[in-house]
Structure 1
C-alpha cells in the first residue's frame, strides 16, 4: 500500500509499527470507490475493519471536534489517520538521521509519532495535539505499544519551546500560515515539513523548508500535493452565500469568457489549481455540481464582500457575473494565463520562504516571488 513511498530506511519501522495498533474500534475510512466516509466497527466487522486498517486510505477517527456521537459520519472530520503513502512520503522528505530530535504537530492516533520513535527513540520525539481527548488516547496507546513519546496537549502553532531546538519539525495538519515560532525552535539547517496552502481551497502542498544558519528564515520547494485537516487555529468558518449574494447573480456585472470548463477545472490536485490558489489571494473557491449541462463556479473574497460566478455550460460560452471592489474572475483568468505563459510549472518549481515578516511563495528561486496581488 506504500509502493514507491516506503524507502528502505523506513521499512523496518513499517513492519514493526502497524497502523492497526493505533486505530479505534469504530472508525470511518474514506471509501475510494464511493468517495465517501463509511463507518466500520471492529466488533461487528473485524475482517472489514482490518482490511481498511491495512489499506492505503485515510481514516477519520473524530468528527466535529469530539461533539459527534453515533455511527453515521459527522459534519466535519477533525482527526484522522492519514494514508500510509502520504505518511511515508512526508517521512521521506523529513530525512531523519540517528540522534535527531523531532517535533510533530498534530498527534492524531499516535502512529506517525510511533514510527519516528522506532527510528530515533521515544526520548527524541515530542508531539503536540490540540484536542485533549485525542492527546490522552494517543498517549495511552503509545505507552501501551512501548513507545512512550512525550505527548503535549496544546496549540501546535506555538510549537513546544521547552524541548527546543529540534533537528526536524513535521506537521500532520494543513497550514494556511507556517508559524515563525517553528523556525526559531529549529536548529540551524534543520528541516520543516508541512502541508501548506491558501484559503482558496482545501488542497495543500507539502513544503520542505531548510532553516537558515541564523534561524531568521526557512526556505524550500514543494514536493507534491496532499490534503490534510487544517490546524484548528487556522480553520475558516464556512462561507455563507447569502452574505455575498443576497439576491440573484443577475445583480452582478455580466460578461463572458472564452475559457472552457475543461481548461479551468483541472483535476483536484493539479499544479494549475495550486498556481491559482497562490495568485488569487484571500479568496474561497467553490465548485457546484453539474445540473442540466451547467456548472456554476463561485469565488468569494475573504477581506470584503466581492464575489464572482462563472457558469460553464456544455456547448456554449461561459457566462460571468461579478460584484464588489475585486474582479475575482478577472484575477482567476489572469492567473491561468500566468501559469500557461511560464510553461505550466509543476509543484516542484514552486517554493516557500518563511521569516519574521511572513511568508512568500516563489517560482524556481526565492528571488522570483509569485506576483501576489495586494489585498486590503
Structure 2
C-alpha cells in the first residue's frame, strides 16, 4: 500500500509490480495494525523504503568483510534478505517490535530461502544474546541513539541510523564505535523515517497552549526573518538541535498565507509568526517562560552565519551519558538555546 492508494497484489498484479519497482516509499501498515481496508489510515507505522535509500544506507554500513549484523526494524524483511544474501542468514539478526509484521516478514524470508534470527521486541534494547555485532543498522529514526546499540557493538563496529531532533529535519548518521565505549561519526545524507516506537512523541494541539481569546497573554512584536526561511530540512535540523523540547505546526489559510506555530513539549510556552506573500516584516506573538521565537531565530542565525551548512558538515557523538551534535569536528559542539 502506498501513501495515497491501496494496491492489491492479487486484484491488480500489474499495479502491484509497478509500485514495488518504483523508487518510492510503500506504506505497509497504518496505525500500528489497527487499521484495515483499502482506504488510508491516520498514521503510517510501517513501510518499505525507496530502493535508493535502502542501498545508500547499506553502502554506508559497508558490510564487506563484516561478521554479524543487527537490524532494528524488520518491516517487510527486504533489507534483512539483502543482508542475508551478502553475509549469510546465520550472521543476521533482525528485530521487529510488531509481532504480526515480524511473522509476515519471517514467512517472506523463508519463501526466499533466508532464515536470519528474527527477534520480536523493543529494538531500543538491541539483542544482547547475539552480541557483539560488527554492524548495526536501524530502519526507523531516533532522536537518541540507544546506548545498547553501542554497548553491543565491537570496537571498530559501525552503526548506521536515521537521526533527527524533535523539531524536524533528519539525516542518516554513520557512527564508528571506539575502544572507549563511545561512538562518533558524520551524517551522510537526508532521510525521513518513522520513529522508533519507544521514542514517538505526543504533540499537543495549539489550542491547548492558549490561556484565553487571541492573543491570550502573548507579547506582540515583529521580525524581518521570514518563516519561509525556516522550513528547509537542513535548517529545521540545525534549529532542532539547538532548541530541544520544541516543535512547529503550520496553520494554512485559503489565501495562501499561514501561521507558523512554535510549541514546547512541556506545554508552557508558545509563539506564532504570520507569513503573507510580499511582506518584508512578519508579526510575532510569544508567551511563556521560553521565548520560542527568539530561540528559533537565534538558532537560525547561528546556522546562517556558518554558511547554512548541509548535513554532511554535522556529526554526532554518543556516550553512556548521552549524545552531542557537532559541526565539522567533535571539538565544535552545536550550542543549546534553552
Whole-angstrom distance in 1 between the partners of 2:126 and 2:151: 10
Taking the aligned partners of 2:26 and 2:203, their CA distance within structure 1 comes to 23
Aligned to 1:23: none
Q: 1:9 is matched with which residue? A: none
Per-residue displacement from partner, 1:268-319 (whole Å, max 9, x unpaired)? x3x2221111111111112232432421011110134201110111233210
Tell me the equivalent position of 2:20. Answer: 53
Alignment partner of 2:265 out of 302, 306, 311:
302
Q: State the Cα deviation string for residues 193-229 of structure 1 (Å, max 9, x = none).
A: 000111112x421010000123x11000101111101
Structure 1 position 250 matched with structure 2 position 250:
no
Correspondence 1:276 to 2:247: no
Give the match for residue 300 of structure 2. 336
- Residue number in structure 2 paired with 1:164: 131
Q: Could you tell which deviates more after superposition, 298-307 or 242-251?
A: 242-251
Q: Aligned partners of 1:142, 1:246: CA distance in 2, in Å? A: 54
DSSP 3-state at the match of 2:2: strand
Task: Give 1:164-313 correspondences, 5 Å limit.
Answer: 164-201=131-168, 203-214=169-180, 216-251=181-216, 252-266=218-232, 269=233, 271-313=234-276
Secondary structure at the counterpart of residue 250 of structure 1:
coil
Residue 263 of structure 1: SS of its match in structure 2?
helix
Match of 2:290 in 1: 326
Specify every segment of 5 or more residues in structure 1 that has no aligned partner in the other structure, as ranges: 1-27, 31-36
CA distance in 2, matches of 1:112, 1:346: 27
TM-score (norm 1): 0.87
RMSD over aligned Cα, in angstroms?
A: 1.3
Partner of 1:107: 74
TM-score (norm 2): 0.96
CA distance in 2, matches of 1:272, 1:176: 17
The alpha-carbon deviation at position 46 of structure 1 amounts to 1.3
1:136 aligns with 2:103: yes
Q: Find the aligned partners of 2:110 and 2:154 in 1 and give their Cα distance.
A: 28
| CA–CA distance in structure 1, aligned partners of residues 314 and 198 of structure 2 | 26
User: Does structure 2 conserve the Cα–Cα contact (< 8 Å) formed by 1:286 and 1:298?
Assistant: yes
Q: Name segments (4+ residues, structure 1) moved above 4 Å.
A: none
Q: Deviations over 1:1-43 (max 9, x none)?
A: xxxxxxxxxxxxxxxxxxxxxxxxxxx214xxxxxx2111122
Preserved CA contact (<8 Å) 1:98 1:119: no
1:124 aligns with one of 91, 94, 104: 91
* Structure 2 residues without counterparts, runs of 5 or longer: none
Distance 1:334 1:86 in 2: 33
Q: CA deviation at 1:333?
A: 0.7
Query: In structure 1, what is the Cα distance between the partners aligned to 2:65 and 2:113?
Result: 19
Number of equivalences = 336
CA contact (8 A) 1:249 1:309 kept: no
Look up the match of 2:63.
96
Q: Which moved more, 1:296-305 or 1:228-237?
A: 296-305
- Contact 2:299–2:337 at 8 Å: present in 1 too? no
- Label 1:212 to 1:99 Cα distance change in 2 as closer, same or farther (>3 A): closer
Matches within 5 A, 1:38-49: 38-49=5-16
Alignment partners' CA distance in 2, 1:297 and 1:152: 42
Q: Could you give the per-residue CA deviations for residues 214-262 of structure 1, whole angstroms, max 9, x where no partner exists?
A: 3x11000101111101100100123222221253441211111001244
